[in-house]
Structure 1
Amino acid sequence: MRPLIALLLSMAALTLSAGPKPQVKLDTSMGVIVMELEPEAAPKTVDNFLKYVKKGQYKGTIFHRVIPGFMIQGGGYVDYLGKKRTDASIPNEADRALAAGLKNKRGTVAMARTPDPHSAAAEFFINVVDNPTLDFKGKANDKTWGYCVFGRVIKGMDVVDRIKAVKTSNKRSDFLNLPVKTVLIKDAVQIQ
């Protein structure tokens, strides 16, 4: 009888821990985007992103880099192109995410970073095409580490497509592919 009770208790614990995946709604100046996050595949990355959502980091930020055959990137700058302060960078979990089946495919959400593989903080991007060159390949150098996918767009891909089609400018050398008309993230809230 005891082994049966232990088995039932462990099954109940698994069921409770495997609850619904967190979802975040981005209310943008071009419409709503809903993302479902993958905490099992990229736990530190999802925790980091949700921490920024909860403290209002993304409210008033912009999509500052829009490349139609690549991705749209946002979450780090406000509309006058001032950089928002961030907390410490997080470790790159691209290897773990890839092992769980998450790849930089159209509609997935990944962390932006500098050439340092472990420099991601608040900025994220949404892939508008499949980008296999951004997937983890190994730990040899910054080019092989890849970019950690931590979620996917489940609603509003039409909004993402409208954003990717906006006119951009390269007039500022420090902001290439900057939308001519601001694409604002009015707010980001966790809805599940």
Structure 2
Amino acid sequence: MQFSRHLPRLLAACVLASSLACAWRAEATVIRFTTSLGSYNVRLFPTLMPVTVDNMLDYVNADRYNGTFVHRSVPGFVIQGGGFAYNATTNSAPPIQLYPAINDEPGGGVAGPSNLRGTIAMAKSGPNTVTSQWFINLGNNSSLDSPARPDGGFSAFGRVLGNGMTVVDAIAALTPYDLDGTSSSLFDAVPLRSATGALNDVLVHVTDVSVLNIPAGDFNIDGKVDAADLAVLKADFGSTTKAEADANGNGRVDGADFLIWQRTFGQNFGAPAAAAVAAVPEPAAATLAFLAVIGCSLARRRK
């Protein structure tokens, strides 16, 4: 579809269906993961997956992901985090404080995108057990979609933006190690930046996950809404696999996103930064598991 041919029709449709713009959240739905290997941005899909997105933002805005680490890496499949923080003093990996589990939302092409490369979804142990742990798909894992699976299937609720997958791939390229030395599978595939040294120095830490304070129509994430953002929208118009210009988070770049760009044109928030949120004190978490084999004695995980 050529954007210019259909622009008058899109404008008319947007005026008639202005309620679509109400689905756009006042705050940005782009979050930034800052890790030991660099940062990457993820656009969330609140229109498609409102419960899952709100759950993720609850953890983000309470800073509960800050100080966690990537605790699972399966090459070609996923990297996973959001569950544990490393305590160097006690050499333990206490779980982060959890909110109550949420109910599953339909995904996998039913009401949202499939688990394709670059999408983010939440880990769980069975139906309606989603809490804090997230994973990013390294490959096209549509086998995870089906709600008929014993675990109820996994719903993708966002997508990594731009060249962010280069950071994700760099994490995935690290060798995974078995750190618990037991039959437990919690820490049997932890990616490390080196096979030697203090564990705290070689884990892939997630130092910060924050909502970016950017205008809703800022598609190139430079803090302002201008013609450059319209160019992004025109290039990706109709796409369900590129999320840069998906302003309302419905999984597709369409006329509603153009209306949001139009309504926010000229806004300039300055260089993108994390949105300010009220600090939430963290109660101490009980130790869930101890990481037993450290440093030179790390056992390389068999693939």
Alignment TM class, shorter chain as reference: 0.7 to 0.9
Where do residues 60-99 of structure 1 align in structure 2 (5 Å cutoff)? 60-80=67-87, 81-93=93-105, 95-96=106-107, 98-99=109-110
Residues 89-121 of structure 1: per-residue CA shift (max 9 Å, x gap): 01111x24631341110000000011x211110
User: Where in structure 1 are there 5+ consecutive unaligned residues?
Assistant: 1-7
Residue type of the alignment partner of 2:17: M
CA contact (8 A) 1:64 1:74 kept: yes
Larger relative contact order, structure 1 or 2 (CA cutoff 8 Å, min sep 6): 1
The aligned residue for residue 59 of structure 1 is 66
The aligned residue for residue 177 of structure 2 is 169
The aligned residue for residue 43 of structure 1 is 50
The aligned residue for residue 154 of structure 1 is 161
CA contact (8 A) 1:108 1:153 kept: yes
Residue type of the alignment partner of 2:143: T
Provide the identity percentage.
Answer: 34
**Cα distance in 1 between the residues matched to 2:107 and 2:142:** 16
**Cα distance in 2 between the residues matched to 1:57 and 1:30:** 20
2:20 pairs, out of 8, 11, 14, with: 14
Task: Name the TM-score, length of structure 2 as normaliser.
Answer: 0.56
1:122 matches 2:132: yes
**Cα distance in 1 between the residues matched to 2:209 and 2:155:** 20
**Cα distance in 2 between the residues matched to 1:27 and 1:108:** 17
Task: Name the TM-score, length of structure 1 as normaliser.
Answer: 0.86
Matched residue SS, 2:76: coil
Deviation at 1:62, TM superposition (A): 0.5
Which of the two has greater strand per residue? Answer: 1
**Cα distance in 2 between the residues matched to 1:19 and 1:10:** 20
**Cα distance in 1 between the residues matched to 2:31 and 2:139:** 21
Matched residue SS, 2:166: helix
CA contact (8 A) 1:24 1:189 kept: yes
The aligned residue for residue 230 of structure 2 is none
2:207 pairs, out of 181, 186, 191, with: 186
Aligned residues: 181
**Cα distance in 2 between the residues matched to 1:35 and 1:11:** 27
Deviation at 1:9, TM superposition (A): 8.7
**Cα distance in 1 between the residues matched to 2:107 and 2:188:** 31
CA contact (8 A) 1:98 1:136 kept: no
User: Over the residues paired in the alignment, what is the CA RMSD in angstroms?
Assistant: 2.2
User: Where in structure 2 are there 5+ consecutive unaligned residues?
Assistant: 1-13, 88-92, 193-201, 215-303
Matched residue SS, 1:69: coil
Residue type of the alignment partner of 1:168: P
Q: Which runs of 4+ in 1 moved over 6 A?
A: none
Name whichever of 165-174 and 32-41 sits farther off.
165-174
Deviation at 1:137, TM superposition (A): 3.9
